[in-house]
A and B are shown apart, each in its own frame.
Chain A
Amino acid sequence: MKKETATTLRAFLIELAVYAVLVVGYFLLVLHFLGDWLYQLEIRHRYTYAGVAILLIIGQAVVLESVTTSLLRLIRGRSE
């Protein structure tokens, strides 16, 4: 039980570190380029902005969930 907990914790910490690097890259690249476009869209085309906002938040959630699940599977698989 203790061994399992230690393995899970180690896998989680590695996952967190890898995830943090990916997220920082995401902040710098994607949000930087999207920022101005979304700002203009919010001012000029509110309805399009509303639709794009929902698609973006759902799309990002699906991608992040897949990334974290894959990371965890990969790291746990290697540590076992």
Chain B
Amino acid sequence: MYFPISGAHISPIYLAIVGFLIGILGGFFGVGGSFIAGPALRAMGVDWNFAVGTDLAHIVGKSVVAAKRHRALGNVDLKLGLIMAFGTIAGAEVGAQLIQMLKRAGNVNVVVSIVSIAVYVSISTFMIWESRKTLSQNKGSPRGKVKGAKAKEDESSFRHVTSSIQRLNLPPMIKLPASGVTISLWIILFVAFIGGVFSGFLGGGAGYIRMPSMVYVLGIPTHLAVGTDLFEIIISASYGTFSHAIKGNVDILIALVMNTGAAIGAQIGAISTQYFAGPKIRLAFVPLPLIGAAIVIYTLISGHKL
């Protein structure tokens, strides 16, 4: 099939399958999946700028489907998502400016690669330590569907640090009844801002940073963190899509075709979260940042940008 906007020839079945796989990951972990979509589009000969912009547009569609399903499961904190969207958009602008500064300095690729490898490996190492420790402390917990109130009873070995952060009295304090948390507005905005900076700096939705931060820093239960992250991604990725589209970096036809597969995948991923407790979802999340790190290391060594 010919896509006139980007000038690429790509099989729609290939796009639907890629969308399906990313949809499953997005629905289950609350991530955008740009570390798969970017290389998958590049492999079909789509220019780098179109791959980035089109991926963002596809993330919007997939997140709408997954967030709707998570909302039906009671996994979306709308108030938290709306507040975070402001911090993310501001952070994304700062991240994009940092990239421009590094471009002018002439060392953008090396700096971005090293920062991203350090971030990805740190997240994975921390999450594998925390989730394994939590799981070993909670042996004998019930198996099967984890729904409703049970999903909100999320155990974490990092809970003592999270509780200390929640006790920081920096007015205004925001009550989040859906998540069962009361926390300073500034801490929420700070977490969203950092996620936004990484989104603008490293590309994609930065769900690999935001979802763990929501769990460990804000103390949001994992299921709610996944659903709320997806809702927040709809807003921030829409902004990114608009920004890229006016620069001529979005082939919406490719994104629409990818989204047909993602619509099914995202629902499977979202429904699957019911069958796993929070620490198990976090443990399963560990390989994702490592895949991202592996891709960056490959591009550094080979010189080919995936």
Q: How many residues of B contact A (CB 8 A)?
A: 33
What A residues does B64 contact at CB under 8 A?
A: 57-58, 61-62, 65
A73 to chain B minimum Cβ distance, whole angstroms, is: 12
B9 to chain A minimum Cβ distance, whole angstroms, is: 13
Please state if B253 and A31 are interface contacts (CB–CB under 8 Å): yes
A74 to chain B minimum Cβ distance, whole angstroms, is: 15
One of A34, A35, A68 near B267 (C-beta < 8 A): A68
Q: How many residues of A contact B (CB 8 A)?
A: 31
Interface centre among A49, A50, A53, A54 (most CB of B within 10 A): A53
What B residues does A53 contact at CB under 8 A?
A: 57, 241-242, 245, 250, 252, 255
B101-109, B213-221, B257-265 - interface stretch: B257-265
Q: Does B5 contact A (CB under 8 A)?
A: yes
Q: Does B147 contact A (CB under 8 A)?
A: no
Please state if B263 and A26 are interface contacts (CB–CB under 8 Å): no
Q: What is the predominant secondary structure among interface residues of chain B facing chain A?
A: helix
A-B contact count (CB 8 A): 94
Whole-angstrom CA separation of A56 from B60 in the bound complex? 10
Q: A53: nearest residue on chain B (CB-CB)?
A: B252
Q: Does B61 contact A (CB under 8 A)?
A: yes
Known contacts A42-B248, A49-B245, A53-B250; decide if A26 and B260 are in contact (CB<8 Å).
yes
Please state if A54 and B256 are interface contacts (CB–CB under 8 Å): no
What B residues does A69 contact at CB under 8 A?
A: 267
Q: Does A80 contact B (CB under 8 A)?
A: no
What B residues does A54 contact at CB under 8 A?
A: 57, 60, 238, 241-242, 245
What A residues does B16 contact at CB under 8 A?
A: 23
Interface centre among B61, B234, B238, B246 (most CB of A within 10 A): B61
What B residues does A42 contact at CB under 8 A?
A: 5, 248
Chain A residues 6-49 with CB under 8 Å of chain B are: 15-16, 19, 23, 26-27, 31, 34-36, 38-39, 42, 46-47, 49
Q: Does B1 contact A (CB under 8 A)?
A: yes
Query: What are 18 A-B contacts with C-beta separation under 8 Å?
Result: A19-B264, A27-B1, A27-B257, A34-B253, A46-B246, A49-B245, A49-B252, A53-B57, A54-B57, A54-B60, A57-B57, A57-B256, A57-B259, A58-B64, A64-B263, A65-B65, A65-B263, A69-B267
- Given A15-B264, A42-B5, A54-B245, list of 15 further CB < 8 A pairs? A27-B1, A46-B245, A49-B245, A50-B242, A53-B252, A54-B60, A56-B256, A57-B60, A57-B259, A58-B60, A64-B263, A65-B64, A65-B263, A68-B263, A68-B267
Contacts from A to B (Cβ < 8 Å): 15-16, 19, 23, 26-27, 31, 34-36, 38-39, 42, 46-47, 49-54, 56-58, 60-62, 64-65, 68-69
Contacts from B to A (Cβ < 8 Å): 1, 3-5, 12, 16, 57-58, 60-62, 64-65, 68-69, 234, 238, 241-242, 245-246, 248, 250, 252-253, 255-257, 259-260, 263-264, 267
